[in-house]
Every structure is written in C-alpha cells, then in structure tokens.
Amino acid sequence: MKKVKITVMKIACYPDLIEKYENPIPHPCDMAKGMVFLANGWQKPIGFCDSAWETLSPFVMTLAHGGEDFYNGWMKNKKSAMISCNDGFRPVSFLLETTEEDAKE
C-alpha cells in the first residue's frame, strides 16, 4: 500500500449562496491553497477536514491500493485524481497523487 499526497489546489466561495441559505458559522474551513497532507493508507491525515475526508477517502483508498485510471482516461497522470469536497458554499479542490512511499501499516 502506498501513501497518497493530498494538495489543496483551489478554494471557491459563493457569498450569494452563503447569504441566502447558510446559517452563520464561526469557522467554516481551515484549508488554504497550497496546503499538503500525506494520507497513510486509510488513515485521515491530522488536521484534515472530516467532511472533505468523507468525499476523498474512497479515491485515496483506491490510489493507496494501486488503483489508477479513474473514469478511463480522465486524468493525465493515471495515478492521480482531482476531487472537490462536498461543501456547496465554499468547495475545495484537492489533487490526490500516489507516492512511491509505502504506507505504514
């Protein structure tokens, strides 16, 4: 099993949707562009968003176990995926890449 590098590539924000639909929350997201996390197999990286992990973890697990080529040629690098979290107000896009480093079991 390999480790998977998770890089925050973009963060979108939709203030019109937030104003119209979201209840105020004091601290909605800790992600920042350029942040890098290393997933050790199935383990959520320390400091990684729980909600984002729910969305990304199936792709991380597939990559960690040697899976590749999601959706038949979607990504230029077959050992990667571009996945966004499920926050409809401020979605974060993450690049997932298989590393050559083995995960610790």
- Taking the C-alpha atoms of residue 57 and residue 17, their distance in angstroms, rounded to an integer, is 27
Token pair of 28 as six digits:
């909605």
pLDDT digits (tens, 9 = 90+) for 75-93: 999 999 999 999 999 999 9
For position 105, what pLDDT does the model report? 58
**35, 48 Cβ separation under 8 angstroms:** no
Give the pLDDT mean for 18-29. 90
pLDDT tens digits, one per residue of 47-69: 999 999 999 999 999 999 999 99
* 28/24 Cα distance (integer angstroms): 9
